Amino acid sequence: MLAVFGHTNPDTDAIASALVYARLLTRQGVPAQAYRLGELNFETPFVLREAGVEAPPRLPELEAGTPVALVDHNESAQSAPNLAELTVTRVVDHHKLGDLTTAQPAYLRFEPLGCTSTILLKLHREANLPVERVDARLMLSAILSDTLHFRSPTTTAEDREAVAFLAPIAGVEDVEAYALAMFAAKSDLGDTPAETLLKMDYKVFPFGDPAQLQRWGIGVIETTNPGYVLGRQAELLAAMDQARAEDGLNGILLSVVDILHETNVTLVLSATEEKVLREAFGAEVENGRADLGHRISRKKQIVPTLETYFAPEA
């Protein structure tokens, strides 16, 4: 049985793509089971409820050599802790290619689209397999989530076409209203501890020369209610300070993204982060907050800038 999973700190795409890809492979004669690598965020339970499916179980510890399929990620830092011992036979992803290697030729399908689920829809169509209602709802939700309903600069024409194709199959009449309900669910953070908020959509990235590697943690909170999140700035900075020390990071950032106004205010922990935010992004920093303007995509607008900033000089 092939184990299919998305990245740690799973978002809706990581969960939906694992479920959909496992079902697709099983229909194609490759028995597969979806798993998750961590707790769900606040948006995904809403999506699963709407789709009428259970959350995938947590990934158990897998024996060395177990075949696995990765969705929505490929870097070892974002994957199963013992990934190096597992046998990666398939990857479907829309991120840049990181430190992944395979011991044998494998199925890799990477496209620079807004969402892994958009690629999964293409796989259905290429295989001439009809899209089932549950899968349509999961893929539609993942695309709306990853692209912030087409607001993110990662959005492509294929993502828009995928949503238009999927909506009638998924039984979603008003896509706008559905997306807003999803974002409202995501923003209903209640009294969630600051450490949980920080790590909800959080990834560690290596930057620069391997010999002098910089490891930065970058969290994002996408919300329709940024005032609530920024009101907890002191708590969040304390959580960031702890995470930076615990994970032995060179720096840590937490971006509060206002989904509806498409703006990014990033919390600034210390002089280290302030220097990088000023130099790499030309950001204004005041009262422990950096204004990153309309940079709402970590993948497309934050990480590449840091890549360039930390790149060894030629």
Q: Least separation, in Å, of the C-beta of 300 and its own copies?
A: 8
CA atoms of 138 and 257, how far apart (whole Å): 23
User: Is residue 98 involved in binding its own copies (CB under 8 A)?
Assistant: yes
Per-residue contact track with its own copies, 283 to 302, x per CB under 8 A? ----------------x---
> What burial class does residue 137 get, using C-beta atoms within 10 Å of its C-beta: 0-12 exposed, 13-18 middle, 19+ buried?
buried
Give, as ranges, the residues between 117 and 176 that touch its own copies (CB under 8 A).
126
Query: What DSSP string describes 93-113?
Result: E-SPP-S---SS--EEEE--S
> What burial class does residue 209 get, using C-beta atoms within 10 Å of its C-beta: 0-12 exposed, 13-18 middle, 19+ buried?
exposed
**Choices 105-113, 136-144, 180-188, 250-258; region in contact with its own copies by CB under 8 A:** 105-113
CA atoms of 254 and 233, how far apart (whole Å): 10
Phi and psi dihedrals of 215, rounded to 5?
A: -115, 120
**81 and 75 in contact (C-beta within 8 Å)?**
no
Q: Least separation, in Å, of the C-beta of 84 and its own copies?
A: 10
Q: Least separation, in Å, of the C-beta of 231 and its own copies?
A: 35
How many residues lie near its own copies (CB under 8 A)?
Answer: 27
137 versus 299: smaller Cβ distance to its own copies = 299
What spatial distance separates the first Cα and last Cα of the chain, rounded to whole Å? 46
User: Is residue 314 involved in binding its own copies (CB under 8 A)?
Assistant: yes
- What type of residue is 94? H
User: Is residue 97 involved in binding its own copies (CB under 8 A)?
Assistant: yes
126 versus 286: smaller Cβ distance to its own copies = 126
Q: Least separation, in Å, of the C-beta of 153 and its own copies?
A: 12
**Strand intervals (E) in 94-225:** 107-110, 202-207, 214-223
User: Is residue 77 involved in binding its own copies (CB under 8 A)?
Assistant: no
Q: Least separation, in Å, of the C-beta of 98 and its own copies?
A: 6
User: Is residue 104 involved in binding its own copies (CB under 8 A)?
Assistant: yes
Q: Among 27, 95, 160, 294, indicate the residue that binds its own copies (CB under 8 A).
A: 95
53 versus 71: smaller Cβ distance to its own copies = 71
User: Is residue 212 involved in binding its own copies (CB under 8 A)?
Assistant: no
Q: Among 111, 188, 195, 274, indicate the residue that binds its own copies (CB under 8 A).
A: 111
CA atoms of 4 and 71, how far apart (whole Å): 7
- Scanning the structure block, which residue is given the tokens 């802790």? 81
Name the residues that contact its own copies, by CB under 8 A: 64, 85, 94-113, 126, 299, 304, 307, 314
